[in-house]
Amino acid sequence: NADASTTGESALISMNNHWIANVATSITPLLEPDVTRPDPCVESTTAEETSPCSTAAEQAAAEQYCAALNGAIDSPYHNCFDDVDPAQLFEDCVFDHCADPSMACDTLQLYEEECQAAGELDFTSVVDACGVCNGDGTSCWPSCHALGDPHYSTFDGMRYNWQGQCEYVLTSDCRGGRRSASGFEVHVRNSRRRPLPGRQATVTEAVAVRFPVQRNTVVLEMFRSVADHRLDGLPLPALPYIDPSGNRISSLGRGLSVFVAAVNATVTWNAGSTVRVTLAAGSPLVNNTCGLCG
């Protein structure tokens, strides 16, 4: 159920360096806060983003990859340009490619969805059946993502938009009908972005991943600034980092990737607005998840 976690559940995310829970529920937080709880759903501001491209070659490669959004007359999206201005998404695509090339495809997918929403269907898609840009349709693994303001794609391919401004369960191990059966959960915080005429727009600004390590669980908190990332409340160790249970945390530009060995799943965050959860072959979570990802 793709919207199971939008009501009736306690969604947790770090705020002001501690965890809070939806006060309307009685579910125990993952980590008890050690200070008075603030209101659980508040607006926040974000700092100006700087490009993660470190060299001219990286910048050029990113612009080449994202060329379909550059407004050129030979673009496969040319027929949509009058209805949906690609300029901002071109910048977003270049930014994402420099941070992590695998994340840039999400921006191209987002533009295609916005073209369809505007009623423009006469364009050539660059996204294959597996959600891979310029792919051949042979690389499908179950994957869920939230991107933009925000657009969701569930593990079973359902696409929808959710403009809630709060903290939500993106996905959780729900084997046996019990949430977080293995200790694995992913939570997101959505906050208001820039106002758009006639509608509220929110964007994912932070992600928290809870996962098992030996007999305990730890929490990785990921924000838009490298300095703010935390592992169980402490600054991150040197990356890449592998813990005793084989979980691996790696840097992706300003963002992070965490592989959770117990469930054979990878969570990536581009430190912008895109979070993706991918279940590898043999993951016990296939058809056993709950949350916004289905």
Whole-number pLDDT of residue 193: 65
Tokens (6 digits) for 230: 């935390």
What does the pLDDT read at residue 173? 93
Beta bridge partners of 159: 153
145 CB neighbour count, 10 Å cutoff? 25
CB 276 within 8 A of CB 268: yes
pLDDT attached to residue 186: 96
Percent of the chain clearing pLDDT 90 (strictly above): 38
pLDDT digits (tens, 9 = 90+) for 68-124: 999 898 999 999 999 999 999 998 889 888 877 777 888 888 888 889 888 888 888
Backbone φ, ψ for residue 99 (5° rounding) = -75, -40
Output the CA–CA distances (angstroms, integers) from residue 223 to 21, 255, 273, in the order listed.
18, 8, 10
Please report the pLDDT score of residue 293 as a whole number. 93
Q: What pTM does this model have?
A: 0.61
Low-confidence ranges of the chain (pLDDT < 50): 1-39, 42-48
pLDDT at 192: 78
Predicted local confidence at residue 90, as pLDDT: 92
